[in-house]
Amino acid sequence: MTRVFCIGELLIDFVAENQGNDLSKAINFTKKAGGAPANVACAISKLGGKSSFIGCVGKDPFGSFLLDVLKNENVDISKSQRANTFTTLAFVSLAEDGERDFVFSRGADRELKYDSSIKKDFDRNMIHLGAATAMLGGGLEEAYGHYFFDALTKDAFISFDPNFRTDLWKDNEAVFIKKCMPYVEKSHLCKFSLEEAFLLSGKDTVKEACEVLHKAGAKIITITLGKEGTFVSTDNMQHTVPSIKVSPVDTTGAGDAFIGCLLYQISQLSNFNMVFNDDELLMKMVEKANKAGAITTTNYGAIIALPTLAQLED
């Protein structure tokens, strides 16, 4: 079975309780494991796939907590690192209308050091680059570039999610676009939200956005549309694959569950090139990945809400 190496950040989300969206008024916070690529690694493992997480946490109790969460989800953490600085922390408070207040204290995730010995493991395997913090500089950005190059030279399957966060890139979008495009150009699979597809392409319809992004080199493009499902685009077809009907209580991690489930299915193929030649197969996979995203919204939390294979096939 193919292994998926998920590279990026693992951090603590401190989520304010019952304080609207004003962090200055928040008193109680719930500690949660966060970081999109770590969520994706958990999603793959929970479905029965093989995943490894490559990232850096601090040598502090928060770092120990985070690595334990991944270990308990059967994610391989042997390639993860610990730095002599504090674990990255995000404080967030959410109002009922989705408005949020956000404070970010960047620590150990930026300290990731490139490890050239991992390159050989990419052979016939897959990598997923999906860090919200990767383009913010530091060791993580450097390591990202090296691992991307290694994956290209080893013919690994490459998946990319830009994970744009307005809070982190306010007034600096042009830099974000410039840093992301080399990944879009050479990845086999790109997962965008509507906002990301429009931002990176400079267009404001999905069809035009995909046209620009395919022209740049993107192969399979998926644009997640919440309850509407997912827009899929290849050189040969464009289609919206609908999702299932659910009653959502918390949409955190739906996108990570979606891409995790899609990568899990690709990892089960005897040869991942099959996904480029068979649009029907791709659409069936997206349909299942939509279901994974939808199920995740029916439970609170990100990792805890991820579905198992049995739940998915129920």
Chain positions contacting ligand ATP, by CB under 6 A? 193, 224-227, 229-230, 243-244, 246, 248, 251, 253-256, 258, 290, 293-294, 297
Closer residue to ligand ATP, CB minimum distance, 27 or 245: 245
Closer residue to ligand ATP, CB minimum distance, 9 or 256: 256
Query: Nearest approach, Cβ of 257 to ligand ATP (angstroms)?
Result: 7
Q: Which two tokens stand for residue 310?
A: 């049995």
Burial zone of 224 (CB within 10 Å; 0-12 exposed, 13-18 middle, 19+ buried): buried
Closer residue to ligand ATP, CB minimum distance, 69 or 118: 69
Closer residue to ligand ATP, CB minimum distance, 63 or 293: 293
Closer residue to ligand ATP, CB minimum distance, 83 or 206: 206
Closer residue to ligand ATP, CB minimum distance, 103 or 244: 244
Closer residue to ligand ATP, CB minimum distance, 55 or 293: 293
What is the distance between the terminal CA atoms of the chain, rounded to a whole angstrom? 23
Query: Nearest approach, Cβ of 126 to ligand ATP (angstroms)?
Result: 19
Query: Nearest approach, Cβ of 301 to ligand ATP (angstroms)?
Result: 12
Q: In the chain, what are the helix, strand and coil shares in percent, each to the nearest 5?
A: 45, 20, 35
Query: Nearest approach, Cβ of 161 to ligand ATP (angstroms)?
Result: 8
What is the SS3 assignment for 83-144?
Answer: ECCCCCEEEEEECCCCCEEEEEECCHHHHCCCCHHHHHHHCCCEEEECCCCHHHCHHHHHHH
CA distance 235 to 134: 28
- Using DSSP bridges, classify how beta strands 89-94 and 3-7 pair: parallel, antiparallel or unpaired: unpaired
How many Cα atoms sit within 13 Å of 218 on the Cβ side? Answer: 28
Helices first, then strands: H and E counts in the chain? 11, 14
CA distance 289 to 279: 15
Query: Nearest approach, Cβ of 112 to ligand ATP (angstroms)?
Result: 21
